Amino acid sequence: MRRIRIVVAYDGTNYCGWQIQPNGITIEEILNRQISKLTGEDIRIIGASRTDSGVHALGNVAVFDTESRIPGDRFAYALNQKMPEDIVIVRSDEVQMDWHPRYQNEISKTYEYHIYNAKVRNPLKNRYSTFVSFDLDVEKMRQGAKYILGEHDFASFCNVRTNAKDTVRTVHEITIKEIPMDKFQASNWGQENSNLENEREIVIRVTGNGFLYNMVRIIAGTLIRVGRGFYEPEKIRDILEAKEHTSEGITAPPNGLVLVSIDYPL
């Protein structure tokens, strides 16, 4: 028996999340089915992160056990011949039989939340960013984000349905980047005479040792409220200190969220 690790990228728009569900197609279901067809075995993968319905990924990680003699690094190529267009195996390799994608020391996960901040919705941005028509004060969002850094009890920043007994997590880094809409994009979008400084993408990038259910989306939703002026930046500190689910900010929509990478120690 061998254990194969795969790194998976996917557009989550048409899926009911990662984990198998009784009422919809999931990423895990597709992977189990296609790997089983390839190997001729009944395969059940083990994933590192159970992304929600509509959430995307560039670097989710999973493992499966097989008797197949296909070289570890060739599974990616073989599986990509069978995958739908919105799921890609980025790479594959063979690992030790006791290697588990969730139970490793010093795991680091990075997520990005993408906001399309403009006066008019752009249909080409709908799948991968959340539209906000109100001007956002990015500097105030950055001030609020500073309170997220470090080790905290994030009970106020997780969904009430979480089953985590320990809600303490460490955020190693959080940045907020502005990407102005360039002239080429504006011309194609028929906005030659618009104020380009008002057309931008705002990317919230968060790296930590782990995240609670909906934690990144709640952080994003709360920072959006700071950017709109509903909250002062210090409100983030107050919400954290409350340690209550009822103190959470608004949960931002799933389509803006991307699991960028899961990094393991060498």
Asked if the domains 2-95 and 108-263 are classified in one and the same CATH topology, the answer is yes
CATH 3.40.30.10 fits 108-263, yes or no: no
pLDDT in tens, 207-262: 999 999 999 999 999 999 999 999 999 999 999 998 877 665 689 999 999 999 99
pLDDT in tens, 6-38: 999 999 999 999 999 888 999 999 999 999 999
Is 52 noted as a catalytic residue in this protein? yes
Q: Out of 11, 42, 52, 263, which one is annotated catalytic?
A: 52
Percent of the chain past pLDDT 70, that is, above it, reads: 91
pLDDT at 247: 60
Residue 184 clears pLDDT 50, i.e. is over it: no
Tokens matching residue 227: 């950017």
Distance of CA 65 to the CA centre of its chain: 26
For the segment 167-191, the average pLDDT, to the nearest whole number, is: 78
CATH topology classification for 2-95: Alpha-Beta Plaits (3.30.70)
pLDDT number for residue 181: 74
pLDDT > 80? residue 96: yes
What's the mean pLDDT in 155-181?
87
DSSP-derived 3-state class of residue 145: helix
Q: Binding site residues for substrate, as ranges? A: 111
Confidence of residue 164 (pLDDT cuts 50, 70, 90): confident
Give the residue ranges of the annotated binding site. 111
Residue given tokens 């952080």 in the structure block? 219
> Mean pLDDT over all residues of the chain?
91
User: Domain residues of the chain, as ranges?
Assistant: 2-95, 108-263
**Has residue 193 got a pLDDT over 50?**
no
Residue 66: which residues within 8 A CB-CB, separation 6 or more? 1, 2, 4, 35, 39, 41, 43
One-letter-per-residue 3-state SS of 165-213: CCCEEEEEEEEEEEEECCHHHHHHCCCCCCCHHHCEEEEEEEEECCCCC
Residue 223 pLDDT: 97
